Amino acid sequence: MTDPSAEHRAVAGQFTELVRSAAPTTWDDPAAVDGWNARDVVRHLVEWFPAFLESGAGITLPPVPAVDEDPVRAWTAHADAVQALLDDPATSDKVLSNPHLGDVPLDQAVSRFYTADVFMHTWDLARATGQGVALDEERCAEMLAGMEPMDEMLRASGQYGPKVPVPDDASAMDRLMGFIGRDPGFRSPAG
């Protein structure tokens, strides 16, 4: 398994580059997730994970600026807090407990549930803000291979939209995006 700290640093770093490069006028542009805009992509990542972490591991992340007021500062403060958590030797033995997942070492839980979510939403933010992005093809293929056997459960969770068909020769990134309910051809007005 990849080092969860290094993995988060790289994945969150790519997302941070997109956040910092987004034109201020694109934050309200639509995202590929139905009903979301670019700001909502950041909001999702900044808001769901602290509650998950606190309820499962008793860890409270420091508060961040409001996403509506400053999505760049909100994201960077949040990403820095998660990175500090992963880099802190005092958390190396912590476990996240969840009634659906059981007990999972904290760093692995961050990797499997949060960093993977940041990775997929990187595509959403890039497309919503009119920026290009090339997600790691090997990681896309690995994630897709891991998710396909759970297709029915993932759809039932309500966290993924209906699959979007893609050509047989589509890239791993496009296949993954189609699997999680994104139209790989989506472009916002900024794009």
Contact 177, 135 (CB under 8 A): no
CB neighbours of residue 102 within 10 Å: 9
Number of independent structural domains in the chain: 1
- Percent of the chain whose predicted confidence (pLDDT) is above 70: 98
Helices 116-128 and 137-147, axial angle in degrees (round to 10):
120
Task: Supply the mean pLDDT for the chain.
Answer: 94
Task: With respect to residue 142, please indicate whether it lies within any of the assigned structural domains.
Answer: no
Task: With respect to residue 161, please indicate whether it lies within any of the assigned structural domains.
Answer: no
Q: Tokens for 1, please give them.
A: 């398994």
For residue 100, pLDDT over 90 is answered with: no
For residue 1, pLDDT over 60 is answered with: no
Report pLDDT digits (tens) over 13-40: 999 999 999 999 999 999 999 999 999 9
Q: Quick one: pLDDT at residue 191?
A: 64
Range of the domain at 131: 4-135
- Percent of the chain whose predicted confidence (pLDDT) is above 90: 87
Q: Quick one: pLDDT at residue 115?
A: 97
Contact 40, 142 (CB under 8 A): no
Task: With respect to residue 153, please indicate whether it lies within any of the assigned structural domains.
Answer: no
CA–CA gap between residue 110 and residue 185 (Å, rounded): 30
pTM above 0.75, yes or no: yes
Report pLDDT digits (tens) over 48-82: 999 999 999 999 999 999 999 999 999 999 999 99
Residue 107's nearest CA partner among 24, 6, 22 is 6
CB neighbours of residue 81 within 10 Å: 19
CATH number of the domain bearing residue 73: 1.20.120
Task: With respect to residue 165, please indicate whether it lies within any of the assigned structural domains.
Answer: no
Report pLDDT digits (tens) over 137-168: 999 999 999 999 999 988 888 888 899 999 99
CA–CA gap between residue 29 and residue 51 (Å, rounded): 27
